[in-house]
Amino acid sequence: LEALRLIDLEGLSQEEAGQRMGVSRGTIWRLLKNARRKIAQAITEGRPIYII
């Protein structure tokens, strides 16, 4: 969720978020893709979203 927060809420680029998290831009892209997919699935299936 950190990648999602940095990019969607703070407005950082994928490159900037990667630098802040210490990972590559490709890793950021993968994290975003997975997070957005999980959120979309939960919403469309009516499941709760748990943030741990």
The amino acid at 32: L
pLDDT-based confidence at residue 1 (cuts at 50, 70, 90): confident
Q: What is the pLDDT of residue 50?
A: 84
Residue 40: per-residue pLDDT:
95
Average pLDDT over residues 11-40: 96
Instruction: With a cut of 80, say whether residue 52 has pLDDT above it.
Output: no
Per-residue buried b or exposed e for 13-26, using 16+ beta carbons within 10 Å of the residue's own CB: ebeebbeeeeeeee
Single pTM value for the model: 0.80
What pLDDT, on a 0 to 100 scale, did the predictor assign at position 10? Answer: 97
